[in-house]
Amino acid sequence: MKTVFMGTPDFSVSIAEALVENGFEITAVVTQPDKAAGRGNKLRPSPVKVWAENAHISVFQPEKVRAEEFIDVIEQIKPDLIVTAAFGQIIPKAILDIPEFGCINVHASLLPKYRGASPIQQALMDGEQITGISLMYMNEKMDEGDVIISKSVEILPEDNTGTLFEKLAETGKLVIAEYAGMLQNGKPTGTPQDNTLATYCKKISKEQGNIDWTRDCRDILNIVRAMTPSPGAYTFLNGKRIKIISARINNKINNENENPGKIISDNKTALTVLCGVGALDIVMLQPEGKSVQHTKDFLNGYKLTADSAFERNI
């Protein structure tokens, strides 16, 4: 089946690989334009572009997929199917109407919950225990199409965006395999979503990682989980930025605290931070300009005082 694939990050690569493994003929890949990144501000291709070039598949990088010249490109390709996964642009009706088997999207949530750009991070921020993958037909609205397949994934307390991404990518592969089997009986039928149950999430910003220690320890922990490994949850100590990589709730401190951000430490192995409610034990962190460290290693090189406290830089 002649397929056009649209995607951008690593998650999309997993789906593209699954399509190839299940016999779909990817004749073209569409991804976002290269973006400047790193200290040198050099243009960096998306993971999907790198994958496609290594697979010798034609790559298109339109600034806007609704541009007439790009719609003409898709009309010339005449795909039987278009598959998107974390592509980053809304597909116009002029493209949706082209393939015989429609346009399908692999979305990292159990729709209609968490429509939008950051379903993995938002599920973690909200402290969800279950998420999943939804395979849906696309329409002109954001993630509102009929759902073909849904598969649940358990979110464990130790999961962060990185580990949950890996789980969902593997589940996405299973969904593609199941969809390939369904095609043996023709175009599958989807189930309409209940729009009254819909929730939405916006693109995650770096500023959301700026920890507000006056919040409940559970909320802060969920922010750390959602922002790890990127763009990162962070705080400040004596004006220096420190990323919090992982933490756990201190079950011995569960009351409201007068000095949120205050650090309680034996200067040997333990580093506990008071929150608005409760406290967190920091497990791993990354001081500014240094590598990721266990708390013990950090304390070996940084002597705290009785007044030491993490701060939010506004």
Domain coordinates of the chain in residue numbers? 2-201, 207-301
Pairing mode, strands 2-7 and 240-249: unpaired
Please list the ranges in the chain whose pLDDT falls under 50: none
What does each C-alpha distance from 49 to 34, 229, 247, 273 come to in angstroms? 9, 22, 35, 42
- Give me the pLDDT at residue 41, please: 74
- Give me the pLDDT at residue 235, please: 97
- Is-cis flag, bond preceding 157, omega within 30? no
pTM above 0.85, yes or no: yes
User: Does an H or E element contain 287, and which?
Assistant: strand 279-287
Pairing mode, strands 279-287 and 271-274: antiparallel
| Chain mean position to CA 17 | 19
Contact present, 84 and 7 (Cβ < 8 Å): yes
What is the total residue count of the chain? Answer: 314
- Give me the pLDDT at residue 314, please: 63
Question: Cα 304–305–310 angle (5° rounding)?
Answer: 65
Contact present, 48 and 9 (Cβ < 8 Å): yes
C-alpha to C-alpha distance for 45 and 36, rounded to whole angstroms:
9
Residue 59 dihedral angles phi and psi, to the nearest 5° = -120, 135
> Superfamily for 207-301?
Formyl transferase, C-terminal domain (3.10.25.10)
- Give me the pLDDT at residue 187, please: 96
- Helices 161-182 and 10-21: crossing angle, nearest 10°? 30
- Give me the pLDDT at residue 36, please: 78
Contact present, 71 and 82 (Cβ < 8 Å): no
Alpha-carbon Rg for the chain in angstroms: 22
Closest Cα partner for 245 from 161, 155, 177?
161
Domain 2-201 has CATH 3.40.50.170: yes
